[in-house]
Amino acid sequence: MTACCRLSVLVALVLAACGELPPPPPATPVPASRTAPDDSDAWNLVPRSASSLADLDLVALRASPWSRSLVTGGFVEDREERQRVFGYDIFSDADRVVVVGADAAGASSQATVVVGRFDAARVGGAFTAATPGAKATRWRDCALWEGGGRAVALLPSGHTLVQGTPETARAAIDAAWGLVPDVHGGPLGDLARELGAADSRRPAVLITLLVTDEMRARAAGFVEVPPEMRRAAGRLDLGADLELAAEAVFDAAGLASAAAASWSAQLGELKQNRMLRIMGLSPLVDGATLAAAGARVHGRLRIPEDKREALGERVLLLLQAVARQRGQPAPQP
């Protein structure tokens, strides 16, 4: 694998693993319990033990000229199929999606928290129809359907749904009740605040992750993750221009400087990649910069408004081609 390929995969791993998106509030002590599950913020359903988090504001993504065609175009014709399989349509019924990963005891798990508008009968019916032996039950006043190692839960508000395993669905509900600490005060919440995701300029997409041994194992063969890198985060802002900010945290300043130098060299090669320019995707790297500051490496990418239309068309075509190759109508949470 060339240096250019390794860099592009690393960027995808860190930034795609990446009304307005409600920002993570400042860290506060979690009460022992609540009188009802609190789903006023999707992060309330993410246990502090999570090792990765990708938070997508679908309202902002649908509204922005940068991303509107990716969210509402090209895949919208499959709405009825998504409603049949999931009981809702991710592109029109959901406002926010938080994908959560956890690595513990050598095993990995994933859960998805979806905020939007749901009908319990349709969600339960779709899950039961797709899952032989599925059963409907309840967990701490929340509707829960489970079977075949999968589960979907709907909170009493009807606005928040959790997909995952029976264990991860119950853990999300426990966090909403305040029975276990949520992610706000943990390392992923700290990463979000360090990247400015708690200020008034809220991101359309936020990704934070801890670089665990399990994550390194999954990345093996695709990209080399520096052994001294411990945490990474990225945020995407969609104004007139597209702005991407990312940071990687290392054990020491010297290690961060070495990584920044290596990645900058690879980025320089990628900027000269002829195929990238032929495909019209060079704006994805032309405005990118990398710099070390202490034990951190900061990355920035700005794509000006005048590049938006042409780039959006090419990215949409690329995603549609990938979806067709995989035989999938659209990516799902």
Residue 175 CB contacts under 8 Å (≥ 6 apart), including other chains:
44, 45, 46, 47, 48, 181, 182
Pair of tokens at residue 245: 């900010």
Q: How many domains does the chain have?
A: 1
Q: Answer whether 79's CB lies under 8 Å from 91's CB.
A: yes
**Any domain includes 333:** no
Kindly give the residue spans of alpha helices, DSSP state H, lying in the chain: 3-16, 58-63, 68-72, 79-86, 120-130, 166-177, 187-194, 213-219, 253-271, 274-278, 283-286, 308-326
Distance CA 51, CA 213 (A): 11
**Any domain includes 263:** yes
Q: What is the pLDDT of residue 7?
A: 34
pTM (2 decimals)? 0.81
Q: What is the pLDDT of residue 323?
A: 64
Q: What is the pLDDT of residue 20?
A: 34
**Any domain includes 78:** yes
**Going residue by residue through the chain (333 aa), what tens digit of pLDDT does each one get?**
433 343 333 334 333 333 333 344 444 444 456 889 999 999 999 999 999 999 999 999 999 998 887 777 545 567 778 888 889 988 889 999 999 999 876 678 899 999 999 999 999 999 999 999 999 999 999 999 999 999 999 999 999 999 999 999 999 999 999 999 999 999 999 988 888 765 556 799 999 999 988 888 888 877 778 889 999 999 999 999 999 999 999 999 999 999 999 999 999 998 888 888 888 888 888 889 999 999 999 999 999 999 888 887 777 777 667 666 655 544 433
Compute the C-alpha angle 287/208/290, nearest 5°: 25
Kindly give the residue spans of alpha helices, DSSP state H, lying in 195-239: 213-219
**Any domain includes 246:** yes
Please name the amino acid found at residue 214. Answer: E
**Any domain includes 190:** yes
User: Is residue 37 helix, strand or coil?
Assistant: coil
Q: What is the pLDDT of residue 260?
A: 95
Q: What is the pLDDT of residue 5?
A: 40
**Any domain includes 332:** no
Distance CA 58, CA 42 (A): 13
Q: What is the pLDDT of residue 198?
A: 54
Q: What is the pLDDT of residue 333?
A: 38
Q: Answer whether 204's CB lies under 8 Å from 236's CB.
A: yes
**Any domain includes 310:** yes
**Any domain includes 321:** yes
**How far from the centroid of its chain's Cα atoms is residue 161's Cα?**
16
Q: What is the pLDDT of residue 223?
A: 78
- Domain interval for residue 254: 3-326
Q: What is the pLDDT of residue 21?
A: 36
Full DSSP string of 250-316: ESSHHHHHHHHHHHHHHHHHHHT-HHHHHTT-THHHHTEEEEEETTEEEEEEEE-GGGHHHHHHHHH
What is the spatial order of strands in the sheet that 94-104 belongs to?
A: 135-139, 142-147, 150-154, 160-164, 107-116, 94-104, 52-57, 205-210, 229-238, 242-250, 296-303, 288-293
Q: What is the pLDDT of residue 325?
A: 66
Parallel, antiparallel or unpaired: strands 94-104 and 288-293 = unpaired
Which residue is it, tokens 């910069």? Answer: 289
